[in-house]
Each structure stands twice: as structure tokens, then as C-alpha cells.
Copies of this chain bind each other. A is one copy, B any other.
């Protein structure tokens, strides 16, 4: 089967290799021509425009979008849709907001094009050797490409999640949980770090991965991380985020749901982006006003 791949960044490139390994013919497009050349060297067909990509694919086409969520996904989608024909299938494997996916599903449907929203987890390694995929959209479209998901995912690692939007929504919540789990682990290590004890964190991660209640892939990653930098001395504790955590909290608010753990895991990331806060200044100023408590001057 032919698969059109749009986007050859960290994820799309590895996924293309994964697909080819499983016997798919990949025709790949990226604005970065070097990436196109590289994947061609690996056996894929290259395309230097979306139009060329579409032209090279047999109908009904199967096109996998693997580009950053937001403006780029929107731009690519809007450029792609007019080039497609009825029954073609677009799979958005990125981290789009589920409401955007719902809208894209509707716009596609009007043209008779199928749109599947596919949440993809497992990181770069997963994209290459076995991801975890959650797919929403029309069942009849899913059925046609089920084998693709089966082949690129680890065993039992794909799920048809129901109507349009449900794949990206599930992935979004997955990421929200991920934020919370990471924060829980991180807070734990910070408490260890401030304790009167002297732990070797790599060994701690190892023992926690073997038989304990909190054994998990994230804890395995901690082993890796600590094996390279025993006390994480080389890095700063700046925690960026890429959207899904925020969307999860917003969804929680929309559903009037208390999700304090996920919300706080996100907010502490925001806090980590700042050297100083206005919040802190206000509290310090107030303490000075009523109690004469000294402020720290700049």
C-alpha cells in the first residue's frame, strides 16, 4: 500500500522508516528539501510539493500528516484538501486540538474526503519502532487503513476510539496524565534531593522500576537520564510545554471538572519559565506593609 507522508521532522521521518520497514511504499513531502532527499535515500519516493505528492499517489489516497499542530497543520490541510478526491483518506497524526480536528473532519466530509484524527504517543522511538495510536473518525475509513495503524504500532498499541475528534481528544488527555505523572515523579525526586539522605538516583529509579507500584516507562527514562547525569547538574529546570497539557486543563474547566493535579503540573511548568514573578513581588510588598518584613531588593 502507498502512504503519502507530509512532514519529515523528528516524528514523520522515523514513522516513514517504520512504514517502509513494514512494507509500505512511502511517498514523502516536506518543505525541507534535505529531509526529502534523506528519506529518498532510505527508499521513499520524494515530492517537493504537496501537489506532486498527491499526483504520485494512487486513489483512494492515504495521506498521513505529521506536522506541528496549530498554524502549520491548518496551512497544510487547507492546501491539501482541494487537491484531493472523494474517498481519499487524510490521517492527522499530529497533536491537533480535537476541536480543530472536528472542524477539519467536517470540511473534509463536505468534499467526500475521509479525515481520521490519530493521536500518536511513544515519542521518537515509538514512531520508529512501534508507536501507540488512537484513532477517531468514520469507521469505514478506519477499516481501510487499520493495517497501517496495526503495523506501525506495538502489539495491542492501536485503538479505534469512535467518532471524529475522539482520537485527538484521547491523546490530549493522555498527555495531561503524562504531565501529572511526570510532576509527581519530579516532586518525589525533589523531596529526596532536599532530604537528609544521600540517594543515588539512578539506583533509586532502577529499584522503583522493579517490583514497585510506580514502575513505569517514565521511571525507566529516569534511569537513562540519571545514568547520563547523576544529579542532573548539567541542565536547568526549565519546563516547556507544547499545548496538550493546557488543552486538557481547558477541557476540564469546560466540563466543570476538578483536575487539580494536572492543572498544577501545568502551572508549575509555567512558573519554571520565570526568574521572578509579579505574584511574589506583591506578596513581598504586602508583608512589608503590614509587618515591616524586609523585602529582597534588586
A215 pairs with B212, CB closer than 8 A: no
Return the contact of A261 from the options B257, B261, B291 (Cβ within 8 A): B261
A residues adjacent to B (C-beta < 8 A): 10, 121-126, 130-134, 136, 153-159, 161-163, 165-166, 169-170, 173-199, 203-204, 206-219, 221-222, 224-225, 229, 232-240, 242, 246, 248-253, 255-273, 275-293, 295-298
Of A174, A184, A229, chain B has the most CB atoms within 10 Å of the CB of A184
A260 pairs with B257, CB closer than 8 A: no
Nearest B residue to A177 by beta-carbon distance? B188
**Least Cβ distance of A247 to chain B in Å?**
10
Contacts of A125 in B (CB 8 A): 290
B161 pairs with A199, CB closer than 8 A: yes
Taking A157-B207, A194-B257, A225-B286 as known contacts, 16 extra A-B pairs with beta carbons closer than 8 A to each other, sorted by chain A number, are A123-B213, A154-B210, A170-B197, A174-B213, A183-B261, A184-B261, A214-B217, A218-B290, A225-B289, A234-B298, A237-B279, A239-B283, A260-B263, A263-B263, A264-B264, A275-B275
B222 pairs with A286, CB closer than 8 A: yes
21 interchain pairs, CB-CB under 8 A: A10-B292, A132-B212, A163-B197, A166-B198, A169-B197, A174-B188, A178-B184, A181-B216, A183-B184, A184-B265, A186-B280, A186-B281, A187-B279, A188-B262, A194-B255, A194-B257, A215-B216, A222-B282, A240-B287, A261-B268, A268-B279
Nearest B residue to A135 by beta-carbon distance? B207
**Least Cβ distance of A95 to chain B in Å?**
11
B199 pairs with A170, CB closer than 8 A: yes
Nearest B residue to A265 by beta-carbon distance? B261
Contacts of A263 in B (CB 8 A): 260, 263-264, 267
